[in-house]
Amino acid sequence: MKPDPLAPELARVAAEPYYQPIGDEVALFEAAYRRRLPALLKGPTGCGKTRFVEYMAWKLQRPLVTVACHDDLTTADLVGRYLIVGEQTVWMDGPLTAAVRAGAICYLDEIVEARKDTTVVIHPLTDSRRVLAVDKRGELVPAPDDFMLVISYNPGYQSVLKEIKPSTRQRFVALEFDYPAADVEVRIVATEGGVADDMARKLVKLGELTRNLKGQGLDEGASTRLLVHAAQLINDGMAPVAACTAAVARALTDDAEMTETLNDLVRAIF
C-alpha cells in the first residue's frame, strides 16, 4: 500500500537504552514477539516498564510508537481521522494504524485510563485475526508479523471504575514488574543517577524503608524512578538529605506528618 501523504513519522530507538534485566522478562518478551502475541506489563509506577519497552524495541530493531492513554482518548485518536487540507479532505493515520502498517511496536501506556469503548479497537488486533479495522475508511489493515502491541497498567491503582475488562486482559501475555532486588536496584541507581555504589546503596535502602510504609499512610513507596531522581540531584552537587527530601519525601506525599516521617527516615540514613 502506498503511504499516505500525512503518515506520521515513526520514532526509532537509535542508541541502546540502558536497561537492567530483573528476571526473565527479556526472554519472555522475545518469545511473545516471535509468537506474535501481545504483551501486558503490570507493575507499580516507575519500575522500568517504559524503559523496558524502549530497550526491547531497540533490541528487536522495530520502531516504537508510544501512546499515553487518558480518559479523553477516542478511537479516532488511535486509529486516525480526516483532516481538511486546502479544499481537500485527507486521511491521517493515528498512531496505532501507523504502527500496524509499519510493523512497529505499539505501546499503550496506562491502558486503564482510556475509555472502554476506545480499548475495544485493539480486540481484533490482539487475537488470531491480527487486523485493525479502520471503520471510517472501510479498511481492514492486516498486521504484519513484526507488529506487536504492548500495554501497561499499574495494579496498585485501585479505582473500581478503571479495571481492565477480562475480555481485554485475557488476550495478553502478562509480564510482572516490581521494584528490583536491592543489588540490582543499586546498579540501576548508580548507573542512571551517576553516583557511586555507596551512595546508590543508601538511596536503595531509603527506597526499602519507604516501601515498608505502603498502606500505612503512603499509597506507594518510593519507585526506582524517584531514587534515580535523588541520585541525579546528588550528582549535580545537592546535599543528600536535601536531594532526598525534594525528590523522594515531597514527591510521595502532601501530608505534613507523613513528610516528617519520611524526612526522619532520610536523616536516619545519611
Ligand X SMILES: Nc1ncnc2c1ncn2[C@@H]1O[C@H](COP(=O)(O)OP(=O)(O)OP(=O)(O)O)[C@@H](O)[C@H]1O
Say how far apart CA 105 and CA 63 lie, in whole Å: 6
Give the nearest distance from C-beta 179 to Mg ion in angstroms: 14
Helix-strand-coil split of the chain, %, nearest 5: 45, 15, 40
Using CB under 6 A as the binding rule, whether residue 50 contacts ligand X is answered as yes
181: Cα separation from own chain's centroid: 20
Residue from 35, 84, 117, 254 touching other proteins (CB under 8 A): that is 84
**Binding-residue pattern over the window 106 to 135 for other proteins, x denoting contact by CB under 8 A:** ------------------------------
Among 13, 29, 38, 48, binds ligand X (CB under 6 A): 48
Q: Which residue has the cell 491521517?
A: 92
Show the site string, 134-163: x = touches other proteins by CB under 8 A, - = not: --x---------------------xxxx-x
Q: Name which position in 8, 23, 103, 124 contacts other proteins (CB under 8 A).
A: 23
User: Pick from 32, 38, 40, 46: which binds ligand X (CB under 6 A)?
Assistant: 46
The phi and psi torsions of 67 (rounded to 5 degrees) equal: -125, 120
Q: Which member of 3, 129, 217, 236 binds other proteins (CB under 8 A)?
A: 217
Q: Is 265 in the site for other proteins (CB under 8 A)?
A: yes
Is residue 222 a contact point for ligand X (CB under 6 A)?
no
For 260, residues 6+ apart whose C-beta sits below 8 A from its C-beta are none
Near Mg ion by CB under 5 A, which window of 11-19, 49-57, 159-167, 230-238?
Answer: 49-57
Cα–Cα–Cα angle for 45, 47, 50, rounded to 5 degrees = 85
Q: Does residue 181 interact with other proteins by CB under 8 A? A: yes
Distance CA 261, CA 267 (A): 10
Answer for the pair 201, 185: CB distance below 8 angstroms, yes or no: no
| 117-124 contacts at long range (C-beta below 8 A, 24 or more positions apart) | 117/75, 118/69, 118/73, 118/74, 118/75, 118/77, 118/78, 119/165, 119/168, 120/168, 121/75, 121/78, 121/79, 121/96, 122/38, 122/96, 122/149, 122/151, 122/168, 123/167, 123/168, 123/171
Asked if 207 interacts with ligand X (CB under 6 A), we say: no
First to last CA, the chain: 61
Q: Does 62 engage in binding with ligand X (CB under 6 A)?
A: no
Please identify, using beta-carbon distances, which residue of 152 and 210 lies nearer to other proteins.
210
Residue entry with cell 528490583? 180
Tell me how many residues contact Mg ion (CB under 5 A): 1
Contact flag: residue 173 with other proteins (CB under 8 A) = no
Q: Please report whether residue 18 would count as binding ligand X according to CB under 6 A.
A: yes
Q: Which of 19, 16, 88 shows the shortest CA–CA distance to 50?
A: 19
Residues near ligand X (CB under 6 A) are 18-20, 22, 43, 45-51, 109, 154, 188, 192, 224-225, 228
Residues near other proteins (CB under 8 A) are 23-24, 71-72, 76, 81-84, 89, 136, 158-161, 163, 176, 178, 181-183, 186, 201, 204-205, 208-210, 212-213, 215-217, 219, 241, 257-258, 260-262, 264-270
Residues near Mg ion (CB under 5 A) are 50
